[in-house]
Amino acid sequence: MEAIAAFAKNLYSTTGLNFSFIYDPFDRARWIVGIKTTILLSIASIFFSMIIGLIGTLLDRSRFRVVRTAIRGYVHVFRNTPPLAQLYFFYFALAPLMPYYVTAQGARQPYFDGFLWAVIALSLLQGAYTLEIFRSGLDAVPKDFVEASNALALGRVTRFCRIEFPLAVRICLPAMESNLVNSVKNTSMAYAIAVPEILYQATQIWGDRVNVPEVMCALLASYMVLVGAVSLFMRFLARRLAMPGYGT
């Protein structure tokens, strides 16, 4: 670690390439906070979007027309309006209506901070896409499987949990990979509401040090590593879940 820091410092003095987030403890701390926040934001929004997608898919198969229409409405609104406008809508328009507490100094302090709003907005956005992916996966389950499980007198719940869902997950995997990659990429929008994720920290660092090209390259490299990790994980999952004799 020391050797790398010394190398980065030497690089600055000899070539003028200022990778300040490697040798400077303050910038390094900011960079690490940024990476951590981005990862946390990605994981949280992926987790909640999966839950929204799953519940939404179940509700979309509801017997009641009102429920189905509401789910369709949610999907259409979130897929056809700009994600950044959604984020602003939540953070600037809805946040002031949320409960807050007053600090000892008399300042209004909301219970929901920027990070939480980013998680909410990104989960709802990505949830709409996840829902559509799950739905098309379930639609793609061959009818023979459903008929076979009916012939075995399986109940609705058993049929869904043991037959339809496991098959749908496998059908969904390729579409899900790009969906998860998008979840990671979309976290960069949280910059707009000052969540200290990697893009925000990068702008802070180059604002202080005026080393835009160096930080910019490191920023892109960081995203490539994160996106690559997601892709590798999904490939691993696809291999683990592969069923012999059942095409991908």
Partner 1 sequence: MRTHRPMAARVVIFAAILLALGPAEAADGSPERASAFATVLKWIPLLLSGFWLNILMSVLAMAIGTVIGVILGVSQLSKNRMLAGFAVLYTHFFRNAPWLVVLFFVMFLLPFNMRLGGFAVGIPDWVKATFGLSLPVAANISEITRGAILSIPSGQWDAGRSLGLSRGMIFYLVIIPQCVRRMLPPWMNWYAILLMATVLSSIVGVTEILTLTERVTASESRPDILLPIYGFVMALFFVFCYPIARATYYLERRFGVTHREAIG
Binding interface with partner 1 (CB under 8 A): 65, 68-69, 73, 76-77, 79-86, 88-89, 92-94, 96-97, 125-126, 129, 132-133, 136, 175, 178-179, 181-189, 191-192, 199, 203, 212-213, 216, 219-220, 223-224, 227-228
- Report the sign of the C-alpha dihedral through residues 131, 136, 141, 146, in that order: positive
- The CB-of-159 to partner 1 minimum distance in angstroms stands at 22
Q: How far is the CB of 231 from partner 1 (least distance, A)?
A: 8
Q: Is 108 helix (H, G, I), strand (E, B) or coil?
A: strand
- Of 22 and 198, which CB lies nearer to partner 1 in the complex structure? 198
Contact between 138 and 199 under an 8 Å Cβ cutoff? The reply is no
Assigned token pair, 223: 């995203």
Closest CB to partner 1 among residues 149, 179: 179
Distance (Å, whole) CA 47 – CA 119: 10
- Using CB atoms within 10 Å of the CB of residue 141, give its burial: 0 to 12 exposed, 13 to 18 middle, 19+ buried: middle
Instruction: Give min distance, CB of 20 to partner 1, in A.
Output: 16
> Measured from the CB atom, is 136 or 237 closer to partner 1?
136
Structure tokens at 136: 């098309």
- CA dist., res. 132 & res. 28, Å (int): 40
**Pair of tokens at residue 201:** 């920290």
Closest of 60, 61, 246, 228 to residue 170, by C-alpha: 246
User: Min. distance of Cβ 172 from partner 1 in angstroms?
Assistant: 10
| Alpha-carbon dihedral angle through residues 116, 120, 126, 129, given to the nearest 10 degrees | 170
Least distance from partner 1 to the Cβ atom of residue 85, Å: 5
Select 146 or 222, whichever has its Cβ closest to partner 1: 222
**CA-wise closest residue to 116 among 94, 131, 142, 137:** 94
Of 50 and 149, the one with the shorter C-beta distance to partner 1 is 50
Q: Distances from the Cα of 155 to the Cαs of 151, 170, 171, 225, in angstroms?
A: 11, 22, 23, 44
Give the span between the Cα atoms of 90 and 122, in whole angstroms.
10
Give least dist CB 81 to partner 1, A: 4
Nearest residue (CB) to partner 1, 81 versus 109: 81
Smallest distance from the beta carbon of 80 to partner 1, in angstroms? 4
Taking the least distance from each CB to partner 1, the nearer of 73 and 142 is 73
